[in-house]
Amino acid sequence: MAYHSIKRDIHHIYKKCTVGNNIEKNNLKNGTGGKRLCKTCADIKAGIRNR
């Protein structure tokens, strides 16, 4: 499931994403928010990083 921070211009799709893991709960929202995919999640999706 996609999620994003109200304070950033990116969204995440993996719970293992080190960037997405640092979102404070009060800033966390479900969905993409119309934002681009984060680089770390894109790398995981491409197989460059471990899932």
pTM of the model: 0.92
> Do residues 12 and 39 make contact, with C-beta atoms less than 8 angstroms apart?
no
Task: Tell me, yes or no, whether 29 lies in a domain.
Answer: yes
Rounded CA separation 33/10 (Å): 8
Domain count, the chain: 1
Q: Which two tokens stand for residue 27?
A: 């800033």
User: Is the pLDDT score of 2 beyond 80?
Assistant: yes
User: Which range marks the domain in which residue 19 is found?
Assistant: 3-46
| Tens-digit pLDDT profile for residues 13-42 | 999 999 999 999 999 999 999 999 999 999
Task: Tell me, yes or no, whether 51 lies in a domain.
Answer: no
Beta bridge partners of 12: 3
Task: Tell me, yes or no, whether 8 lies in a domain.
Answer: yes
pLDDT given for residue 50 in this prediction: 84
